[in-house]
Amino acid sequence: MAASRSLPPDRITRQKIIDSALRLYAQNGIDGVPVRALTSDAGVNVAAVHYHFGGTEALAEAVFGELSERINAQRVMALEAITADASRAGRKPEVRAIVQAFVAPYVGPDAATEGRLLAQLILKHRLSPSPMTERVVGKHFDPMAKKFVAALLQALPEVSPGLMATRYMLMVSTVVLSLSDRGRAQRLQRLAGRKAARDGLQTMEAALVDFIVAGLRAPVSEP
C-alpha cells in the first residue's frame, strides 16, 4: 500500500516506514533488516521509527497486523461468496474453490512480497513463536482459519471436526513450506531441473491445489 498524499504528513511518514519494512522483510527475512537499512529505504531517520512504533518489534507487529488483516479479509470475502453461492444453489461448497481462495494470496500478483511475507510469518510462528507472532496469529489468522474449517466441513461432512482441523493445518504447512523454497534454497530446482523454476507460480498453484484437494478428500482411515 503506497503512502497516500491525501494522508496527514504524520500518517504519510508512518505508512512509508510500513511499506519499506514490508518490502525489505520479504526480500531479506524478518530478522535480516537492520534499522538503518529500513530508514534509508523509507527516507526517514531512526527517531521516526521510534516515534511512530516505539521500536523495531512493534514495527514488525504493525506490518504483519496490517498485512494479515487486509489479506485475510480478502480470503474471508472470497470464502463467503463461495458458501453463499453454494447455499443459493442448494449444494455443498466446492472443495477446490475453497482451497483456491486460501492459496490465492501466496501465488497472486503480490506473491513476491506479500505472499512471501505471510509465509515467513507463519514459519516464524511455527518454529520460534513469540508474543508478537502469537498476538498477530490469534487476532488475524485464527478467526479466518475457523471459517475455512467450517466451510470445509460443509463441503466434506463425512470428515469429523477434529480431523478437518488437522487437515487444515496440513494444508497450511504444505502451502507455507512449498512457497518458502525461494532465494538460495531452490530445492525444487535441484530435484526437478531448471525448468521447474521457470514454470513459475502458476504451475506451483495448480500443483498445490491438486495436492491439497486430494488430501482433504482422502478417505478417513480407521485408527
Q: Look at residue 222 and tell me if it is in a domain.
A: no
DSSP conformational letter for 169? H
Q: Give yes or no: residues 118 and 181 share one domain.
A: yes
Residue 223 lies in a domain: no
Task: With beta carbons less than 8 A apart as the criterion, state whether 63 and 33 touch.
Answer: no
Q: Which residue is listed with cell 516505539?
A: 54
Inside any domain, residue 86: yes
CA 143 to chain centre: 14
Domain count, the chain: 2
Q: Is residue 59 part of a domain?
A: no
Residue 88 shares a structural domain with residue 165: yes
How high does pLDDT run on average in the chain? 86
Tens of pLDDT, residues 106-130: 887 777 678 888 888 888 888 888 8
pLDDT category, 6, cuts 50, 70, 90?
Answer: low
The CATH number linked to 40 is 1.10.10.60
What's 203's domain CATH number? Answer: 1.10.357.10
Residue 5 pLDDT > 60, yes or no?
no
- pLDDT higher for 29 or 71? 71
Q: What pLDDT score was predicted for residue 55? A: 85
Question: Within this chain, do residues 27 and 7 fall inside the same structural domain, yes or no?
Answer: yes
Residue 23 to residue 40: CA distance in whole angstroms:
13
Cell triple for residue 158?
463425512
Instruction: Specify the pLDDT at position 113.
Output: 75
Q: Which domain holds residue 18?
A: 1-54
Residues 108 and 195 both lie in one domain: yes
Q: pLDDT (tens digit, 9 = 90+) per residue, 145-168?
A: 999 999 999 999 999 999 999 999
> Looking at the domain assignment, is residue 33 inside a domain?
yes
Residue 87 domain-assigned (yes or no): yes
Please tell me which residue, 41 or 3, carries the higher pLDDT value: 41
Interval 49-64 mean pLDDT? 89
How confident is the model over 127-151, as a mean pLDDT? 93
| CA–CA distances in Å: residue 114 to residues 14, 23, 192 | 18, 8, 26
Instruction: Check whether residue 76 and residue 146 sit in a common domain.
Output: yes
Whether 161 maps to a domain, the answer reads yes
Output the CA–CA distances (angstroms, integers) from residue 88 to 36, 96, 147, 152, 220, in the order listed.
Answer: 54, 18, 19, 17, 29
**In this structure, what DSSP letter does residue 44 have?**
-
